Structure 1
């Protein structure tokens, strides 16, 4: 995956797990910018993993809203009460 490189090298499997898990913890739309046909099987299975996707999904189906923003970070709150 193009977004999952480090110094022109692909991330190791454990690095991909950490990277995707951190992306999923943020309550926002999941967007992956790469050619899915060129994706290796491990990465495709990781992105389709129900446990990983569940981390991102809100029970009410509502996106989180920014409640505080600085130049370097945002705090988002979802209607389900998850931060």
Structure 2
């Protein structure tokens, strides 16, 4: 899954409405990954604007699979009308930061702890993700379905579990 999204990232500049890059069908629910790894898979496909083609047997779908595949907030990132594929903006060993612009001056951010076997503190720097360093943002956690109480300026640092990700929509506030 990670190798496919790495190849997809190379072609990010060519993706646009009417012509999306397709790293392949989703494997969510096929029994070869843990739930948090399926969350990573779905998040990467969504932020990359890849077609979200379900690849599991719908008749055997469990509750976790249904929860992942029906996350309206993550799907909204995939379907955002601006139609810009996110890119990997920083890679430090096992840690990746992905980001892409959304409509209404928002930014989708994915912090991925892909290979490490330990908790990792990760930072999304505004200059990496296309925001002015003085921009104050509100962060919406798309998997927890909550807006964080804290506002962020210049960067956002969070802790990410092994083989997991955190996905946010950052919204500039006045």
TM-score band by shorter chain is 0.5 to 0.7
CA distance in 2 between partners of 1:39 and 1:52 (Å): 19
Higher helix fraction: Structure 1 or Structure 2? 1
Alignment-derived partner of residue 3 in structure 1: 27
Alignment-derived partner of residue 57 in structure 1: 79
Runs of 4+ deviating beyond 4 Å: none
Alignment-derived partner of residue 23 in structure 1: 45
Higher strand fraction: Structure 1 or Structure 2? 2
Shift of 1:3: 2.4
Aligned-CA RMSD value: 3.4
The higher radius of gyration belongs to 2
Count of matched residue positions in the alignment of Structure 1 and Structure 2:
67
Which protein has greater RCO, CA pairs closer than 8 Å, 6+ apart?
A: 1
Shift of 1:4: 4.4
CA distance in 1 between partners of 2:66 and 2:38 (Å): 11
CA distance in 1 between partners of 2:52 and 2:32 (Å): 20
CA distance in 1 between partners of 2:49 and 2:74 (Å): 13
Structure 2: segments with no counterpart, 5+ residues: 1-25, 85-102, 108-174
Alignment-derived partner of residue 70 in structure 1: none
